[in-house]
Structure 1
């Protein structure tokens, strides 16, 4: 199999070739390394060099031998260094053991070939760390691939990998998916295990999964890796049938709420993002769904203040924990300016500030839950803009304090953080195009635990408005 044949196929098709012995896993991985070596010099999406051979994986897994990469943040693979996009960790500190999700990725048969770039400690909507340099968007290399899973998104969009690990604390799966023309599902809180290192990462806002090019890959991989581990705080009921079956079966008639103004942040919305979303609303009506404009009873100012508390406290804890473990003094020689500002703000927070933020989060969850009593799905743009130019979200800009940095990020991404706070699932689909040919992401959000609803509807939209022919 050459690299061009490989690039034409999604993970499901590649796994079937291996399972049917039409292609060996070694041939797949050779094609992947050829593709990675071809695109990465221009994209700068890998951290360090690709692995000489894949990490161990189960040869009988449903995706046995399918090339894969892990984001250099949160997830741990035994013996593999992690640098988290920060100079504090230098080339990276080898991890002593797999996290639970990494074990499940191995069990699924995914063949990990490298680490993908992330912004410093994940707090950015682009991936341009000082430690590793900017990741370039394969649709236009002057533009950002999004963040914080930008390295993974760039490689999947460029077809060097069919799938890659990603994580999402405020949109970090969906923002890169929108920027790079991919399928990006943020699962419900607890659908994938955060253990053993975390119970509620980022005050419960953080969740890990993958980025894919097709809905069936997204569903099949969720079937492969979802589930509770001993000690996890949340125990979601198993789906009534495999998520992949939902994609094939399609959706029942749904009540859809259309929203084109941001849930949070102060940014305006690019008309092209609004137009793409409204076009999807019309397509949904044509498929038999009821679409109506609906508003949410949310206090956006209180939401943003509480979300900043969540992020800043998490960054302060991470920075101070690393500093103590490594014997390194946090400062501008090892941390970017916005990271330092947010960590300093986080250190000054009191316990009462965290409880106050939790009260806002509770009110937000209940307001969104009330909306989902009336509507099955909320339809919105994924981002305020199709993408951002490289350099726009400069995490090393010393002119911004913590709130200024938060506002700057979410002026470009005012639609994504809501589902992190509620714990609800949300998916970005590449359903729009700009005059430059860039993809435009459209987001669907559902009630807690309702991934089946999203994936069934996403499957219908992929068939009605196919995006496979659009390639960077």
Structure 2
């Protein structure tokens, strides 16, 4: 069977739904409203507990989620394939596990048995999964019911979710803005309160970027903590991981525990409580590639740094000691090589030559870059393989690095469209995605925490990153930050809760 992920190649409980806005609103209309502080929407842990206690049923929760999805989907466009009937059948059966009966979505980059997997590509139309991806199998074993596949850009190759196969996904905070990528559909559906959590994956920022732009929580696990690829040859550098975007930190923790790999490489994640010890936090707001940081994002990060000081942490200014332009160039070339491999697999599936009929211009542009620089790829891999040790050395002087997730809040839809001028789209991507990729190359734990909003009401996530294996530490810090500045009740203009 065709393996869809280019990264592996490189390798609400209410049944009645009301829309907060039945017509598109600008972010500014929401900005005047004060942030809510009392959560009013059940997270996945609470939903599962209610089902287990007999207070509700899996089928009731699935039906309610379907109603919510139908209410917001015309505006958000975050669902690629609906599998509602299969979800009803699953919910009516015997379900066991930590999230038995809780509805969610699977990102359209991995296989869920019985559902299409198109990886956002027109060339993969008609591909049906006959087995579960190993990570998807963990979620099925946890009793999670999939309502369908969430939108992703083609092969997850860009920081916006505007695939030509499905059209753009819209940000519930401002429908004229992107939700980020590549887990854009997942983050938009969670932000709009269709589901409490959704599957996401991250090969260069694809959990943290949409979590930031959509105002939800997203932790990128350390390499090999959770399953990613099907069995087979490992890529030179496994940059991608699977996990989720969530409304609550405890959902992310429980989902991590349900899917973690018990291979002895790491201690299993156990009970996590809010952080008690105080941390040394290096505050590094400057983009690694030398691009400009927007004024509103800088102000938001200064506010988050002060929040950490108010909580008793030691926060000091820090400059990440790395050659940002060199690293960025190497990462893009490695990324481009993956795009080329993806294009070849799509051509093999479609029975057509690689070209714009089956592969998007952005993917073709990346693939062309890889062909032109093919002789540089071995040296690039060697350089990136050595980066993990360099990254780990940053933490000799600190416990955690605090940076923005992106260079600005969500940009307008169309600025990163896959059929736009390649050089202009690349310029926008590099300006926007200015922080996240080092943690993928290093295999390190990193998270986006929704602690700030722009003056116009757009979410701005704060990124806290540790070493490889620091997942528990980040979860502890996230619980402390969530208690200090709750976010779950702050809803976007388009919301189904």
Distance 2:237 2:131 in 1: 24
| Counterpart selection for 2:298 from 267, 270, 274 | 274
TM-score (norm 2): 0.88
Q: Which residue number in structure 2 is paired with residue 32 of structure 1? A: 65
Distance 1:289 1:199 in 2: 43
Task: Give the direction of change, closer, same or farther, for the CA distance of 1:3–1:220 in structure 2 (3 Å limit).
Answer: farther
Conservation of the 8 A alpha-carbon contact between 1:200 and 1:206: no
Distance 1:212 1:30 in 2: 20
Does residue 61 of the first structure (1) align with residue 97 of the second (2)?
A: yes
Distance 1:325 1:28 in 2: 37
Q: How far is the alpha carbon of 1:302 from its aligned partner?
A: 1.4
Conservation of the 8 A alpha-carbon contact between 1:192 and 1:228: no
Conservation of the 8 A alpha-carbon contact between 1:157 and 1:213: yes
Does residue 368 of the first structure (1) align with residue 388 of the second (2)?
A: no
Distance 1:99 1:34 in 2: 28
After TM superposition, the structure 1 = structure 2 runs for residues 24-423 of structure 1, keeping only pairs within 5 Å, are: 24-54=57-87, 56=90, 59-73=95-109, 75-90=110-125, 92-196=126-230, 200=234, 203-228=237-262, 236-239=265-268, 242=270, 245-246=271-272, 248-264=273-289, 266-350=290-374, 353-397=376-420, 399-400=421-422, 405-423=425-443
Distance 2:323 2:177 in 1: 32
The alignment's C-alpha RMSD in Å is: 2.0
Conservation of the 8 A alpha-carbon contact between 2:124 and 2:349: no
Distance 1:116 1:379 in 2: 29
Q: How far is the alpha carbon of 1:414 from its aligned partner?
A: 0.3
Q: Which residue number in structure 1 is paired with residue 26 of structure 2? A: none
Q: How far is the alpha carbon of 1:406 from its aligned partner?
A: 4.0
Q: How far is the alpha carbon of 1:409 from its aligned partner?
A: 1.1
Q: Which residue number in structure 2 is paired with residue 19 of structure 1? A: 52
Distance 1:216 1:106 in 2: 19
Please, which runs of 5 or more residues in structure 1 have no aligned partner? 230-234
Conservation of the 8 A alpha-carbon contact between 2:309 and 2:315: yes
Conservation of the 8 A alpha-carbon contact between 1:203 and 1:310: no
Task: Give the direction of change, closer, same or farther, for the CA distance of 1:45–1:329 in structure 2 (3 Å limit).
Answer: same
Conservation of the 8 A alpha-carbon contact between 1:251 and 1:453: no
SS in 1 for 2:256: helix
Q: Which residue number in structure 2 is paired with residue 450 of structure 1? A: 470
Q: Deviations over 1:429-463 (max 9, x none)?
A: 11001122221110000011010110000100000
Distance 1:323 1:225 in 2: 33
Distance 1:368 1:87 in 2: 38
Say which is worse superposed, 2-11 or 57-66, in terms of deviation: 2-11
Say which is worse superposed, 17-26 or 191-200, in terms of deviation: 191-200
Conservation of the 8 A alpha-carbon contact between 1:312 and 1:343: yes
Q: How far is the alpha carbon of 1:195 from its aligned partner?
A: 2.9
Q: How far is the alpha carbon of 1:191 from its aligned partner?
A: 1.0
Conservation of the 8 A alpha-carbon contact between 1:194 and 1:200: no
Q: How far is the alpha carbon of 1:331 from its aligned partner?
A: 1.3
Q: Which residue number in structure 2 is paired with residue 232 of structure 1? A: none
